[in-house]
Amino acid sequence: MTLKTNLRKYRFLKDEMTQKQLADLVKVSRQTIHAIERGKFNPSVRLALLIAQVFQSPVEDIFYLE
């Protein structure tokens, strides 16, 4: 059961938001957003909730298990 994400897709859907813009909104570094997009790690549920809020979508739509 490994974590997958389509954060990248969501980021482009939402006004072509940049990694930096998203990072600023949820108050993490740009590298953190990058690492999450690349599946390098498994963010906290708090961060996932913040990201989901930005995209006004359920956490499950952005992060899922496979």
Partner DNA sequence: ACATAAAGTAAATAATAAATGACATAATGT
Partner DNA sequence: ACATTATGTCATTTATTATTTACTTTATGT
Which of 9, 18, 24, 60: binder of DNA (CB under 7 A)?
Answer: 18
Residue that has been written with the tokens 């498994």 in this structure: 42
Nearest alpha-carbon partner for 33 in 18, 15, 46, 49: 18
Determine the 3-state secondary structure of 40 from DSSP.
coil
Q: Which residues are near its own copies by CB under 8 A?
A: 1-3, 42-50, 52-53, 58-60, 63-65
Which of 43, 52, 55, 62: binder of DNA (CB under 7 A)?
Answer: 43
Nearest alpha-carbon partner for 15 in 58, 62, 56, 65: 56
Partner touching 34 among its own copies, DNA, none, CB below 5 to 8 Å by kind: DNA
Contacts to DNA by CB under 7 A: 11, 18-20, 27-32, 34-38, 40-44, 47
